Amino acid sequence: MRWFLKILGVAVFASTALAQEASDTPEKAEDSPYEQLQLLARTMQLIRQDYVDESKTGYTDLAHNALRGLLDQLDPHSQFMDAKNFKNMQEDTRSEFGGLGVVVTERGGVLTVLNPMEDTPGFRAGLLPGDQILKINGESTEQLNVNSAVEKLRGQAGESVTLTIKRPSTGEIKDHELVREIIKVPSVKDAQILPPRPPSTARIGYVRITQFNEPTANELAAELDKLEKQGMDALVLDLRHNPGGLLGSAVDVAGQFLPPNTLVVFTEGRTPSREYRTSTKPTAIRKYPLVVLTNYASASGSEIVAGALKDLDRALVVGETTFGKGSVQSVIALPDGSAARLTTAKYFTPGRKLIHEHGVAPHIRATLSQKEEVDLLRYRREREDPSKPGAVIWDPQLERAVDALQGSLLHAKNN
């Protein structure tokens, strides 16, 4: 009887509301946070009281699921992290974490490999930028956003994960069984003086940065010191396939080549604009000619470095327009140990150029064919000891970079 009266009450309320709507022109309801919080609390209470599977009705789980939904619907980069995932994120910035070493993004609604990190399970399995991840352990990724997919890719070292991969260039669909490892990511690699390119005798250095984490700027400074002692005349800074990382690290890397207190990037959003500048501490500035190599997978921190050095006329950018991921994610710790990653602003280069969805265009456009890119990644994958610098494989983008530096050195010599 109580159940019948409850239903009857809902029906009477609904009919009254419909009659009111028919007789009056409705006004837009005020967007009140208190009313919406009451709605959320009431819904959680109903789930807790009546949902068939009681094991899924803990208030902590319900609140976390609600927070995931709140943030996931904003954009692909906003995210709720429970305490475990927050800890994993903090470990990422220290260059060590458990996973497959696959950086993913969303393209056209499809989960896509942006870059397989070197010396990781994903890299050794032969995954390539642009590969599409259709399933993770047999579960379709069609309804997964990037953040949820990352959670599934990571886990305990030693556990296996099966990825169903489609390679758009060939249409091939293949399962890859990978085993999670503790991923240690050395961010500065292959520092060396390149073999001379006759007739020039210039000593051109080469350094590749795979991502920006806490030790990157110090690692780069140490490698540059070594190359300078070998008589380096100019430098190629390779940021291809670099997905980004810590903003402060990217600013410090740019600071290796810029005067103290130089504007590197600034943000604009709902909050007041914020500037990020090189250190005010006086340091010896590295003044030799510089080329930054970029491609379509250079993202976030890579774009900040390339954009700043380009706008400030400190470097030539050679390669392809970068990815265009120029939004700021602020990580806010929450009282229970979880955290919210929230997009709060967008990045602008010193010349007020918007990075997000535009990228940084090169001074000199140079591309790789698909075969050349596969050969380059395969070469890096098959090197016997990737922890030691080996002979860098020459490719059209690197050749254009070296040509540009040789031209700069020749021009400086004749003037």
Distance between the two ends of the chain, CA-based, in angstroms? 98
Q: How far is CA 325 from CA 243, 299, 356, 395, in A?
A: 9, 6, 5, 26
Report how far residue 62's alpha carbon sits from residue 46's, in angstroms, rounded to the nearest whole number: 11
Report how far residue 208's alpha carbon sits from residue 390's, in angstroms, rounded to the nearest whole number: 12
Residue 135 neighbours by CB distance under 10 Å: 17
CB distance 355 to 346 below 8 Å: yes
Angle at 391 between CA 104 and CA 389, to 5 degrees: 65
CB distance 71 to 79 below 8 Å: yes
For residue 195, cis peptide bond before it (omega within 30 degrees of 0)? no
CB distance 219 to 238 below 8 Å: no
What amino acid positions are annotated as catalytic residues?
Answer: 300, 311, 325
DSSP 101-121: -EEEEEETTEEEEEEEPTTSH
Can you name the residues that pair with 328 across neighbouring β-strands?
A: 345
Question: Of 135, 125, 129, 100, nearest to 112 (Cα)?
Answer: 129
| φ, ψ dihedrals at 157, nearest 5° | -60, 140
Longest CA span, the chain? 99
Report how far residue 252's alpha carbon sits from residue 249's, in angstroms, rounded to the nearest whole number: 5
Report how far residue 10's alpha carbon sits from residue 5's, in angstroms, rounded to the nearest whole number: 9
Report how far residue 225's alpha carbon sits from residue 305's, in angstroms, rounded to the nearest whole number: 20
Crossing angle of helices 247-254 and 216-229, rounded to 10°? 20
Query: Which tokens hold the place of 359?
Result: 């990228």
Tokens 């400086």 sit on residue = 412
Angle at 18 between CA 13 and CA 21, to 5 degrees: 125
Question: Which contiguous run of DSSP H or E holds residue 68?
Answer: helix 59-72
